[in-house]
Amino acid sequence: MSQDSVAKKLQLEGVDVDKGAVQRIEAGKRSLTRQELNALAAILQVEPEALLAEERGG
């Protein structure tokens, strides 16, 4: 899924982000809010914890 597509889907979930924000999140240069995390997890059809597992070493 492209960063632009993710940004558009997040916007449909009520999260105000653009492609640049998605790029920064992916690069680890920007943190996610709880709302963004939950919306991203819903889009990817995973539990929010699954998105945090890699960062935490899991």
For residues 36 and 58, give the distance between their C-alpha atoms in angstroms, rounded to a whole number. Answer: 21
pLDDT at 57 over 60: no
For residues 14 and 23, give the distance between their C-alpha atoms in angstroms, rounded to a whole number. Answer: 18
The model's pLDDT over 39-52, given as tens digits with 9 standing for 90+, comes to: 999 999 999 999 88
pTM of the model: 0.82
Sole residue written with tokens 């997040």: 10
**Is 9 within 8 Å of 15 (Cβ atoms)?**
no
The model's pLDDT over 15-28, given as tens digits with 9 standing for 90+, comes to: 999 999 999 999 99
Of residues 5, 1, 3, the one with CA closest to residue 21 = 3
* Terminal-residue alpha carbon distance, the chain: 23
